[in-house]
Amino acid sequence: MASVFKEEDQFEPVTGSYKLLPFRFSRLDDKRYVAVNECGEHQVLRPLDLETFVRGKLSPHVEHYTLLKAKHFLSDSSSQIGPDLLTLKVRTKRDRIANFTSLHMFVVTLRCNHSCLYCQVSRQSEDRIAFDMTEEMADRALDFTFKSPSPAIKIEFQGGESLLNFPLIRHIVLAAETRNLTEKRDLAFVIATNLSPVTDEILEFCREHNIYLSTSLDGPEDLHNGNRPNPTRDSYAVTIEGINRARAILGEDKISALMTTTKASLPRITEIVDEYVKQGFHGIFLRNLSPYGFAIKTRYYGQYDSEEWLSFYRKGLDYIIELNKQGIRFSEYYTALILRKMLTPYGTGFVNLQSPAGVGIAGIIFNYNGEVYPSDEARMKAEMGDKVFCMGHLLKNTYEDIMLSPALLTPLEESIPESAPMCEECAFLPYCGADPDYHYATQGDFLGHKALSGFCKKNMGVFRYIIRKLADDPDARRILESWVAW
């Protein structure tokens, strides 16, 4: 009996009948390449497979043909939907650009009671109230904040030690909430603090107004005290006591901690992670030093290079994955936000991995004296005497003057990775971003030569390591996938 249906192979594309969809590729290691398309889908390929694919000779019967098709690297006669899906994912990935600024940082004081050797800020002693932001200035900063079209507004209080000017924080929170009765934004507050000035009264206020705390914890007691000295030489004990008090009043999830990697941290990654586990945290952000402020003056920055930090990061990630295999749920946050870019169609709000650069667009900072900067790092540069990034002044310039200032637009325009040498052809471009502050600080221009860039070396190393873990270790892959926040 004759079949009314054609044989299955009649529906299959023939070799060479596919069209390439846009993607970039880079070397993953000595034996493999990784191809990544505009929406961040990736595929690891052997050199011969990559060349065969690009030259249009890939057989539809090999496994990676199906994978490349499913991930929108090619389209063929059997399905034309690839380009449309790719478009939707690209649009989703870039959605945040249209929302504009969400993170607004208020430097409520430059005063500080710690003398951290890697501090990025030129801090002032506790009694110098000339370095406090005034209420008038804070009100102007709030006018500015609510001019952003972003449906989500996060206000972060920075210092110095921000809680040394808690009366101003209270004023800003209450005023922002009043404005938000009509603005109806998704409003959130974060106080960055070393926790030493924290009192029950402050914590009660934080609880009533749903304020998050972000503190610093560098690792075990001797490491933390060495990195972050205070006059009573007990900054670790003060921090841990503050974390516990904050948790008791605010709840477990209302306080997070950040670590900074110094040279002394490099051989101690497992102890640092263990300290975070011991203190009840569910993750850690492995953060390298930045070339700004006091860290330059004390020559702390430059004590290790990108390769040394990468080795620290790789050991840390391996150790954290091992902990997960033992049943301890714990993640590395930098990896997690990159995984979101790799494994979902969504972007992240992380300022340093945005294109165009996140400075000024994703986040903006109001200095205590009314000057507006595109990033925390840029205002630190100003404290060192270089005001190249100063966008204007809250009392002297309009919102439009400030947001259209050449101090913002020039770094943004000159650093766009899509038109930068090496970046425009780099597979990792959809995961990466521009960092004009870093390249200005290290190379004297906003773009920087990427072959000489520590930012590039660090991030390429991280991207490659994550992709190798995903490709080569199925257990690690399952754990890494569980870190992705949707």
The piece of 62-70, 80-88, 235-243, 346-354 that touches another protein (CB under 8 A) is 80-88
| 356 vs 411 by CB, closer to another protein | 356
Dump strand ranges (E) for 231-328: 255-258, 283-284
Distance CA 275, CA 278 (A): 5
The closest of 371, 421, 368 to 393, measured between CA atoms, is: 371
Q: Shortest Cβ distance from residue 441 to another protein (Å)? A: 18
Q: What Rg, from alpha-carbon coordinates, does the chain have?
A: 24
CA 434/CA 227 separation, integer angstroms: 29
Q: Between 24 and 387, whose beta carbon lies closer to another protein?
A: 24
Q: Based on CB atoms, which residue is closest to another protein, 27 or 297? A: 27
- With respect to another protein, which residue has the nearer C-beta, 222 or 418? 418
Is residue 94 close enough to count as binding another protein by CB under 8 A?
yes
Select from 29, 66, 80, 83 the one that contacts another protein (CB under 8 A).
83
How many whole angstroms separate alpha carbon 103 and alpha carbon 437? 17
d(CA 34, CA 44): 4
* Shorter beta-carbon distance to another protein: residue 86 or 441: 86
In the complex, what is the shortest distance from the CB of residue 425 to another protein, in angstroms, rounded to a whole number?
5
Q: Are the CB atoms for 228 and 216 separated by under 8 Å?
A: yes
Compare residues 61 and 449 and give the one whose CB is closer to another protein.
449
Task: Report the C-alpha gap between 159 and 157 in whole angstroms.
Answer: 7
- Of 59, 87, 398, 482, which lies in the binding site for another protein, with binding defined by CB under 8 A? 87
Minimum distance of another protein from residue 374's CB (angstroms): 19
Taking CB under 8 A as the binding criterion, the range among 84-92, 127-135, 176-184, 344-352 that sits at the site for another protein is 84-92
Binding of another protein at residue 305 (CB under 8 A)?
Answer: no
Q: How many CA atoms lie within 13 A of 308 on its CB side?
A: 15
Beta bridge partners of 373: 365
For the segment 414-443, give every residue that binds another protein (CB under 8 A). 421-422, 425
Q: What are phi and psi of 393, to 5 degrees?
A: -130, 135
Q: How far is the CB of 74 from another protein (least distance, A)?
A: 10
Sequence-ordered list of residues with C-beta below 8 angstroms from that of 83, at least 6 positions apart, any chain: 21, 72, 75
The site for another protein, by CB under 8 A, has a size of: 28
Q: What is the largest CA-CA distance in the chain?
A: 97
152 touches another protein by CB under 8 A: no
Q: Out of 90, 240, 317, 321, point to the residue binding another protein (CB under 8 A).
A: 90
Q: Give min distance, CB of 302 to another protein, in A.
A: 17
Q: Residue 168 or residue 423: which is nearer to another protein going by CB? A: 423
The nearer residue to another protein, 93 or 114, going by C-beta atoms, is: 93
Q: Looking at residues 18 to 77 of the shown chain, list those that interact with another protein (rule: CB under 8 A).
A: 19-25, 27, 38, 50-51, 54-55
Strand 33-37 and strand 23-27: pairing?
A: antiparallel
The answer to whether the CB of 191 falls within 8 A of the CB of 213 is: yes
Distances (CA, A) of 172 to 198, 209, 246: 18, 12, 21
| Binding piece for another protein, criterion CB under 8 A, among 85-93, 133-141, 187-195, 386-394 | 85-93
Candidates 67, 70, 97, 484: give the one binding another protein (CB under 8 A). 97
The token duo for 286 is 């492995």
Residue 1 has a CB neighbour count (10 Å cut-off) of 3
For 307, 347, 408, the CA distances from 437, given in Å and listed in that order, are: 21, 21, 11
Residue among 36 and 198 whose Cβ is closer to another protein: 36
Q: How far apart are CA 23 and CA 41, in angstroms?
A: 9
Under the criterion CB under 8 A, does residue 91 sit at the interface with another protein?
yes
Nearer to another protein, 1 or 451 (CB): 451
Binding site for another protein (CB under 8 A): 19-25, 27, 38, 50-51, 54-55, 83, 86-88, 90-91, 94, 97-98, 421-422, 425, 449, 451-452
